[in-house]
Amino acid sequence: MSAIDTLLQRRVSGPDHGAPEVPTPVPSLHVAVVTCMDARIKVFDVFGLAHGEVHILRNAGGVATDDVIRSLSISQRKLGTREIVIMQHTSCGLSMITEDSFKDEVEQDTGLRPPWAIEAFREVKDSVRQSMERVRRSPFLPHRDHVRGFVYDVATGGLTEVF
Name the residues that contact Zn ion, by CB under 5 A. Answer: 36, 38, 92
CA–CA dist 63, 88 (Å, integer): 8
Pick the closer one to Zn ion by CB: 36 or 87: 36
Determine which helix (DSSP H) or strand (DSSP E) holds 161, and give its type and residue range. Answer: strand 159-162
Q: How far apart, in whole angstroms, are the C-alpha atoms of residue 78 and residue 120?
A: 31
Comparison of 54 and 120: residue with beta carbon closer to Zn ion: 120
Provide the pairing of β-strand 159-162 with 147-152. Answer: antiparallel
What is the separation of C-alpha 72 from the centre of its chain, rounded to a whole number of angstroms?
Answer: 11
- Least distance between Zn ion and beta carbon 36 (Å): 3
Least distance in Å: CB of 133 to Zn ion?
19
**How far apart are CB 27 and Zn ion at their closest, in Å?**
23
SS3 8: helix
User: Whole-number minimum distance, CB 73 to Zn ion, in Å?
Assistant: 23
* Residue 63 near residue 119, CB atoms below 8 Å: yes
Nearer to Zn ion, 56 or 79 (CB): 56
Q: Which is nearer to Zn ion, 85 or 141 (CB)?
A: 85
